Amino acid sequence: MADNTHGVTLLGAGLIGMFYAMTLHDQRRRDRIRVVQSRTEERAQALAREWDIPHVETDMRRAIEHPDTDVVVIGLPNNLHKEAVLAAAQAGKAVLCTKPLGVNAQDAAEMLHAVEEAGVFHGYLEDLAYTPKTLKALASIRNGALGKVTWTRSREAHPGPHSDWFWDQKQSGGGAIVDLGCHCIAIGRNFIGKDIRPTEAMCWAATQVKPIDAEDNAIGLVRYENGAISQFEVSWTYRGGMDLRDEVAGTEGAVRLDHFLRTGMELFTATGEKGYVAEKAESETGWLFPVGDEVHALGYPHMFTDMFESLDGDRAPMETFYDGYVVNAIMDACYASARSKRWEPVKLETWRGQTGLSSAPEAVDYDEKHYLIKKELMPDGRRKLILKDKATGEMLQRIEERS
């Protein structure tokens, strides 16, 4: 498009369609949605009216092939992502797909091959890797503030999704793991380093509350080749709103992030706001936890900025279809583990990162004969040193001499 502005076809006019439109049109931005497609014309018309979108379609192919657009943004139910990606690749348009990329790794691999063979730009719309807090934490980690990252924890829990198709495994591909675990796994990969290979997964998944076929709660562990471990907790039955939290621990530091229920804004109302408070909020009265700028808190503006800047700069964005594929492969291992109750390998048809990394701890020398295990200042002012004798393996303690 002229002057580096892009015309967007938006597929889907549901919740994510609303967030994407709000992000691209609410504040001053160059790129515009020119076509919105939805199953029902009324829903597409409503979104088009609200955000000044000139064309409305109910047919996916016509929307993708529309001459006014060069970028296709996919915000459809999970089982429709592949058809949309293949059609966009065939049309030779850049394609940005929401999470999860596929309903499983095979689905995601087909999408990855399609965009790579067609040579079109591709971005995986994993907004939670782009929240301002996450980007700040990632910058600190890259600067060495945490040393080597050894553990991450990511939690996404809320009272359950807002549309029928999420609850139907045939359309969604799974329950809380596919819907929410994909975010947590992507966040963990970013903190540990996306060039570090995820090797195996252990997962508990259960249908604790709702009468559905898929899991409504799950906890998982993903092990990485360098010894780091990434933990996720997901729930479709957590009461009280949307709990989005991350923690990272490294050899030299730690970070804790709270993205939603406790962002620093708390509001009490006896009468109620008479409307929307925040995504998945459960009440409109009493103590409420509004979010100052929801699309920013969830990472959408930074995400689209990276996508369009990368497209213009002819480089890959931070999150590509390969990342979406790796996340799907990790989730497949989680489902296998939930069934077998064992660690299951993460099966990747290609690995594009580092190989041959060691998971052994890196010992710190204290002097020629000892490793330093730790130092601690005691209440009486003494500083204790815990040391390990390199030759005998014996553990000993010393009081550090004060100069």
Residue 294: exposure state from Cβ atoms within 10 A (0-12, 13-18, ≥19): middle
Which pairing describes strands 94-98 and 395-399: parallel, antiparallel, or unpaired? unpaired
41 binds ligand NAD (CB under 6 A): no
Q: Where in 57-76 is the site for ligand NAD (CB under 6 A)?
A: 75-76
Residue with tokens 């077998």: 340
303: which 2 tokens? 């995400």
**Residue 172 C-beta: closest distance to ligand NAD, Å:** 8
Q: Which residue is nearest to ligand NAD (CB)?
A: 14
For 188-332, where are the E strands, in sequence order?
Answer: 198-206, 217-224, 229-235, 243-250, 254-258, 267-269, 286-288
Q: Is residue 153 at the binding interface for ligand NAD, with CB under 6 A as the rule? A: no
Q: Toward ligand NAD, which CB reaches closer, 173 or 250?
A: 173
Distance CA 116, CA 389 (A): 54
Q: Work out whether 38 is an interface residue with ligand NAD (CB under 6 A).
A: yes
Sheet holding 383-389, edge to edge: 364-365, 370-377, 383-389, 395-399
Minimum distance from CB of 126 to ligand NAD (Å)? 7
Closest CA to 163 of 18, 272, 22: 18
Q: How many residues bind ligand NAD (CB under 6 A)?
A: 21
Which of residues 186 and 202 has its CB atom nearest to ligand NAD in the complex?
186
The answer to whether residue 163 forms part of the interface with ligand NAD (CB under 6 A) is yes
CB of 17 to ligand NAD, least distance (A): 6
Binding mask 208-247 for ligand NAD (x = CB under 6 A): ----------------------------------------
43 binds ligand NAD (CB under 6 A): yes
- Tell the smallest beta-carbon distance from residue 199 to ligand NAD (Å): 26
Q: Does 388 bind ligand NAD (CB under 6 A)?
A: no
Q: How far is the CB of 233 from ligand NAD (least distance, A)?
A: 17
Which of 8, 9, 12, 91 is close enough to bind ligand NAD by CB under 6 A?
12
Nearer to ligand NAD, 47 or 196 (CB): 47
Between the two ends of the chain, the Cα-to-Cα distance in Å is: 69
With CB under 6 A as the contact rule, the residue among 7, 9, 10, 13 that binds ligand NAD is 13
Strands 364-365, 217-224: pairing is: unpaired
E strand or H helix at 185: helix 182-192
**284, amino acid identity:** E
Which residue, 39 or 210, has its beta carbon nearer to ligand NAD? 39
x/- track of binding to ligand NAD for residues 89-108 (CB under 6 A):
---------xx---------
Among 25, 29, 39, 148, binds ligand NAD (CB under 6 A): 39
**How far are the Cα atoms of 70, 166, 237, 302 from residue 173, in angstroms, in the given order?**
29, 9, 18, 28
Contacts of 355 (CB under 8 A, 6+ apart): 197, 225
The residue among 150 and 237 lying less far from ligand NAD, judged by its C-beta, is 237
- Is the Cβ of residue 27 or residue 40 nearer to ligand NAD in the bound state? 40
Contacts of 380 (CB under 8 A, 6+ apart): none
Least distance between ligand NAD and beta carbon 203 (Å): 19
Phi, psi (degrees; rounded to nearest 5) at 37: -120, 135
Q: How far apart are CA 188 and CA 154, in angstroms?
A: 7
Residues lying near ligand NAD in the complex (CB under 6 A) are found at 12-17, 38-40, 43, 75-78, 80, 98-99, 125, 127, 163, 165
